[in-house]
Amino acid sequence: MSADRTVFRAARAVTDVAAGTVIEDATVVVEGERIVWTGRTADRPGHPAEGGVLDLGSRTLFPGLMDAHVHLAFDAGSDPVATMLARDDEARLDSMRVSARQLVESGVTFARDLGAPQAAARHGDPRALAARIREEIGQGRTPGPRLMVAGRPLTRPSGHCWFMGNEIDGPDRARRAVHEEVEAGADLVKVMVTGGRMTPGTDPVRFEVSPQALAAVVAEAHALGVTVAAHALSTVGIRAAAAAGVDSVEHGTFISPEGDDGFDAAVLRELVASGAGVCPTLGLSGAHAHPIPIGTRGGWIVAMHEAGVPILAGTDSGIPRHPHAGGVVDGLEGLIAGGLPVRDALMSATETGMRAAGLAGAGAIKPGYLADLIAVEGDPLQDVRALLDPAFVLAGGRIAKGL
Ligand SMILES: [Zn+2]
């Protein structure tokens, strides 16, 4: 009988979103950062001597959620880039800790940071700022989700996010940049295949790195055992990312060179054949600010989903109108408003989506899985808004938000 066992009891538990498994009068036993038992309270073998029981009452236990696309270093204010650039390393780290806490208190127990600045200080800790936050969270010194971090995004000279990026002008520099980010602690590499709306002077619909440089990024990353997330805002960008063999396409909007609906069934087939997942970053509240209507963007997502492209729930939290607090639910509402069934949207934020993002053994309440779970009022399988502001969050076996 281990002393670090904790027992959680609740009126019900959604243990497996994909299978739709719901246990009434549920008990979950956690040891360290893993779940060791789950089932009906009446069926549990008695261990009266072990650690305490936390009774979550009439609430529903649900797997912790994923946000596959966040920017901890951005504060979701009106000009997060200027705010971030004006801060020194310590202030940036403090702001990232605030973002991490907001994410986990919103029920996000796994996130991928897809772009943050490197340390500005010439001396001292050479690791990427996001890698330091990942370590603090892992050690229990800072509350936050389990993190995979990309470090600095790779971008063409003066390309999208150059102000915090690692600029690549060809295959040699691209290979070196991949090494630099991995040495600084990156779990995956982010590369800007097209421009972006946040960076003046870049074109969101144009393919902005050379095919040779992009191929070098993917080959070098895979040789080092890390994956590649590619920012692509247009049909030509998606095509280039799929051809290069990236692991995920970020945003993945089928925008034409003219800036309108550029959906292309042939490009979708190439995307399916590549095996890449897509993180659509479609939020409900920010959708009005996008030049393409939510119905059109939702149609692209439904087409990708029905063709078998793994959908990763993600929000781009940190950019304007995309808060870290509660953004994950706004993102699920965006997917649903775009036409994805509720169950499929929830799958993109739990085990199915996490596996596509490279995290196995998480996103369901099963023995052996990571002890990442939340407790909410209401039934998230009926209404995802039940997931807003969970009463209780357990992340990696640690209570990140208590009753
Ligand atoms: Zn982003």
3-state SS of 165-180 is: CEECCCHHHHHHHHHH
pLDDT above 90: residue 172: yes
316 C-alpha vs ligand 1 centroid, how far in Å? 5
227 C-alpha vs ligand 1 centroid, how far in Å? 16
**Over pLDDT 90: what percentage of the chain?**
86
Q: Which of 83-92, 203-212, 281-290 has the highest mean pLDDT?
A: 83-92
400 C-alpha vs ligand 1 centroid, how far in Å? 25
378 C-alpha vs ligand 1 centroid, how far in Å? 31
| CA 300 – CA 171 distance, rounded (Å) | 32
251 C-alpha vs ligand 1 centroid, how far in Å? 8
93 C-alpha vs ligand 1 centroid, how far in Å? 18
330 C-alpha vs ligand 1 centroid, how far in Å? 16
CATH number for region 5-64+363-401: 2.30.40.10
Residue type, 207: F
* Other Cβ atoms within 10 Å of 116 Cβ, number: 27
Average pLDDT, the chain: 94
| CA 269 – CA 273 distance, rounded (Å) | 6
pLDDT above 90: residue 278: yes
pLDDT above 50: residue 260: yes
pLDDT above 90: residue 126: no
pLDDT above 90: residue 355: yes
69 C-alpha vs ligand 1 centroid, how far in Å? 6
**Over pLDDT 70: what percentage of the chain?**
97
153 C-alpha vs ligand 1 centroid, how far in Å? 10
204 C-alpha vs ligand 1 centroid, how far in Å? 13
Mean pLDDT of 75-88: 94
238 C-alpha vs ligand 1 centroid, how far in Å? 16
32 C-alpha vs ligand 1 centroid, how far in Å? 33
pLDDT the model gives residue 48: 55
* Low-confidence winner among 83-92, 123-132, 162-171, 342-351 (lowest mean pLDDT): 123-132
57 C-alpha vs ligand 1 centroid, how far in Å? 38
pLDDT above 90: residue 97: yes
What SS3 string covers the chain? Answer: CCCCEEEEEEEEEEEECCCCEEEEEEEEEEECCEEEEEEEHHHCCCCCCCCCEEECCCCEEEECEEEEEECCCCCCCCCHHHHHHCCCHHHHHHHHHHHHHHHHHCCEEEEEECCCCCCCCCCCCCCCHHHHHHHHHHCCCCCCCEEEECCCCEECCCCCCHHHCEECCCHHHHHHHHHHHHHCCCCEEEEECECCCCCCCCCCCCECCCHHHHHHHHHHHHHCCCEEEEEECCHHHHHHHHHHCCCEEEECCCECCCCCECCCHHHHHHHHHHCCEEECCCCCCCHHHCCCCHHHHHHHHHHHHHCCCCECCCCCECECCCCCCCHHHHHHHHHHHCCCCHHHHHHHHCHHHHHHCCCCCCCCCCCCCECCEEEECCCCCCCHHHHCCCCEEEECCEEEECC
Q: Are strands 108-113 and 146-149 parallel, antiparallel or unpaired?
A: parallel
pTM: 0.96
* Other Cβ atoms within 10 Å of 153 Cβ, number: 27
Q: Which residue has 């890449």 as its token pair?
A: 276
Tokens of 384: 């995802």
55 C-alpha vs ligand 1 centroid, how far in Å? 38
Mean pLDDT of 220-244: 98
Contact by Cβ (8 Å): 108, 129: no
Mean pLDDT of 18-44: 96
Q: Are strands 248-251 and 398-401 parallel, antiparallel or unpaired?
A: unpaired
Find all residues with CB under 8 Å of 174, minimum gap 6, and list them: 154, 168, 209, 213, 214, 216, 217, 220
Assess if CATH 3.20.20.140 describes domain 65-356: yes
pLDDT above 60: residue 288: yes
pLDDT above 70: residue 25: yes
pLDDT above 60: residue 1: no
212 C-alpha vs ligand 1 centroid, how far in Å? 23
Tokens of 47: 């261990």
pLDDT above 50: residue 362: yes
Q: Tell me which of 162 and 19 has the higher pLDDT.
A: 19
Contact by Cβ (8 Å): 113, 71: yes
164 C-alpha vs ligand 1 centroid, how far in Å? 12
pLDDT the model gives residue 290: 86
| CA 123 – CA 111 distance, rounded (Å) | 29
250 C-alpha vs ligand 1 centroid, how far in Å? 8
40 C-alpha vs ligand 1 centroid, how far in Å? 41
71 C-alpha vs ligand 1 centroid, how far in Å? 6
pLDDT the model gives residue 286: 83
pLDDT above 90: residue 368: yes
5-64+363-401 and 65-356 in the same fold: no
pLDDT above 80: residue 151: yes
160 C-alpha vs ligand 1 centroid, how far in Å? 10
Q: For the chain, which residues make up each domain, given as ranges?
A: 5-64+363-401, 65-356
Q: Are strands 398-401 and 108-113 parallel, antiparallel or unpaired?
A: unpaired
The gap between the terminal CA atoms of the chain, to the nearest Å, is 26
68 C-alpha vs ligand 1 centroid, how far in Å? 10
115 C-alpha vs ligand 1 centroid, how far in Å? 7
For the purposes of burial, counting CB atoms within 10 Å of the CB of 321, is it exposed (0-12), middle (13-18) or buried (19 or more)?
A: middle
92 C-alpha vs ligand 1 centroid, how far in Å? 17
pLDDT tier at 208, thresholds 50, 70, 90: confident
70 C-alpha vs ligand 1 centroid, how far in Å? 6
| CA 58 – CA 26 distance, rounded (Å) | 11
pLDDT tier at 50, thresholds 50, 70, 90: low
